[in-house]
Structure 1
Amino acid sequence: MPNPRQECWKDAEDIALCIAVVTVGEDGSKGTSQEKKRLWERIHEVYETCKPAGGVVRLGGGCDGRWKKIRPACARWRQALNKAALLRGSGDNATDEELQAKSIYRTLAKGEEFTFQHCWPILKDTKKFSNPPGINVGSSSFPTSINLEDDGSSSSSNVHARPPGQKAQKAAKKKSRQDETGELLLQMQRIADQEERDLEYRLRLREETRLAEQHADDARTMTVDPSIFTPKKRSYWERKQAQIIEREEQSSSAGAFRQPSFSPEENTPHSEDDSNLDLYVPVQETQWMGRN
């Protein structure tokens, strides 16, 4: 099996590497300055998730070595673009400016062409390459403690604000989680309160329905004339009516049951007063209610 470090890098692999470097290098929650070994372990992990399907297996050292070629080349290209922008004439267009930048790049790179145009869209707006870097392009070595935001320029020439540091981003994430947790708890409490109100409403509706059905059933019972039945059935209906009258009297005295359509005090006949029986509208007898 050929050594994976000797395989030529394809454009898609370069793009995946640049994505990994930008992702890890600008992750402030992990610190803006990280030890080289752990940094490239993380870059390699991200690269493995970004690399094209069927791509060559690359070791962490291979990614490091490839970045040492991409970084100075893109730094020179940024210098060439900025110089070309300064030299642009009033009649020049974007194509003229790009040709001027390529010429300047060849001068900076001692005759070499810029071969990482496929990487430039990913890197051009990052902190390292958005300003004239002013780095020593001949040096590709990394210090033991590496900061991917450091392009070699002095701090006075870096007009871009540094991204939030590790502590600031962790604090922001913690606060965001706390806010989300508080909002979630508030929503859960609202849902619980609504469910409790819904349950109370259903129970109240069920009780009102039961009482209404009982009221209607009692009203039908009170319309029955026990005298038309045999002694046994007459005794049954008289007992039923007596129970309804007693229940209505108890409810009326307690004030627990008052229905506008049925007033126990006005419409329920008492045992000693049968005059109110005329107020009940008889219903047709069912088969089992007929005479024997």
Structure 2
Amino acid sequence: MNISSDPIIGNEQPTGTYWERIAQDFHENKEGKFESKRTPNSLEHRCGLIVKECMKFQAFYEEVEHRHPSGVPYQEHMLQAQARYARQAKGKACQFIHCWLQIRHSEKFAKAREQANLPVQSNPTHDQAKGLQDSGQGEDSSIPTAKKARPPGRKKSKDKLKRDEEDDDYKILMKNLMVMKTE
């Protein structure tokens, strides 16, 4: 999540570089003391599997949530969604619930869900496209009405990084040392 939401580099990097950065971050920040020889390619395929399964679970969760049974707590929604997932997966529970909890509110996951839910249409005619725009069912209608806080842009992130560097303890100590030397 950290690599894909980095506003300074953003999406202006080749796929290979992107997955190399993810692999580097994965190996540097592993939880626990285990040995891993995952390559960027293997991480890419593993992430694809995780996102696919998370999207499948999200569909069951939304199905339960849309029924919105009265007085049913959030945990019960989760249990019902897990039961539906298990029925569809021949008795196997979703093994990526912990991942789903991390990515379910991320912007990229929401966009992937929206794209997966769009009907596949081969080149709509001009009249069909105009009708969609007039009726408000074009691309803009898929944007939720509740505004989410936008992540900081590239310029703001770079400015913040520069400001944080000025407040760096090491730099302050060095400035103090230089002042002491001149006195």
**Alignment of structure 1 residues 193-208 onto 2, 5 Å:** none
**Equivalent residue number for residue 34 of structure 1:** 13
CA offsets per residue over residues 177-201 of structure 1, 9 Å max, x none? Answer: 34669x949x849x86xxx8xxxxx
**Equivalent residue number for residue 174 of structure 1:** 162
**Equivalent residue number for residue 25 of structure 1:** 4
**Equivalent residue number for residue 59 of structure 2:** 79
C-alpha deviation, 1:167, in angstroms: 2.9
| Cα distance change on mapping 1:65 and 1:132 into 2, 3 Å | closer
Cα pair 1:78 1:130 within 8 Å, conserved: no
Q: Which has the larger radius of gyration?
A: 1
**Equivalent residue number for residue 47 of structure 2:** 67
Q: In structure 1, how many angstroms separate the alpha carbons of the residues matched to 2:12 and 2:148?
A: 17
Cα pair 1:32 1:166 within 8 Å, conserved: no
Gaps of 5+ in 2: 118-138
**Alignment of structure 1 residues 248-259 onto 2, 5 Å:** none
C-alpha deviation, 1:37, in angstroms: 0.7
Give RMSD over aligned pairs. 3.7
CA offsets per residue over residues 211-250 of structure 1, 9 Å max, x none? Answer: xxxxxxxxxxxxxxxxxxxxxxxxxxxxxxxxxxxxxxxx
Using CA pairs below 8 Å that are at least 6 residues apart, which structure has the higher relative contact order?
2
**Pick aligned residue for 1:157 from 143, 167, 170:** 143
Cα pair 1:81 1:98 within 8 Å, conserved: yes
Does 2:36 match 1:50? no
* Identity within the alignment, %: 24
Q: In structure 2, how many angstroms separate the alpha carbons of the residues matched to 1:130 and 1:119?
A: 14
Q: In structure 1, how many angstroms separate the alpha carbons of the residues matched to 2:29 and 2:166?
A: 32
Cα pair 1:82 1:132 within 8 Å, conserved: no
AA aligned to 2:52 is: P
C-alpha deviation, 1:127, in angstroms: 2.6
Q: In structure 1, how many angstroms separate the alpha carbons of the residues matched to 2:18 and 2:112?
A: 25
AA aligned to 2:60 is: A
| Cα distance change on mapping 1:93 and 1:36 into 2, 3 Å | same
Q: In structure 2, how many angstroms separate the alpha carbons of the residues matched to 1:49 and 1:179?
A: 26
| Cα distance change on mapping 1:53 and 1:110 into 2, 3 Å | closer
SS in 2 for 1:34: coil
Q: In structure 1, how many angstroms separate the alpha carbons of the residues matched to 2:116 and 2:89?
A: 14
**Alignment of structure 1 residues 135-284 onto 2, 5 Å:** 135-136=115-116, 156-157=142-143, 159-178=147-166, 184=172, 188=176
Q: In structure 2, how many angstroms separate the alpha carbons of the residues matched to 1:86 and 1:78?
A: 12
Cα pair 2:20 2:40 within 8 Å, conserved: yes
Gaps of 5+ in 1: 1-21, 138-153, 197-292
CA offsets per residue over residues 16-61 of structure 1, 9 Å max, x none? Answer: xxxxxx1211221222443211000000001112334233411111
**Alignment of structure 1 residues 79-158 onto 2, 5 Å:** 79-105=59-85, 113-129=93-109, 133-136=113-116, 156-157=142-143
CA offsets per residue over residues 227-277 of structure 1, 9 Å max, x none? Answer: xxxxxxxxxxxxxxxxxxxxxxxxxxxxxxxxxxxxxxxxxxxxxxxxxxx
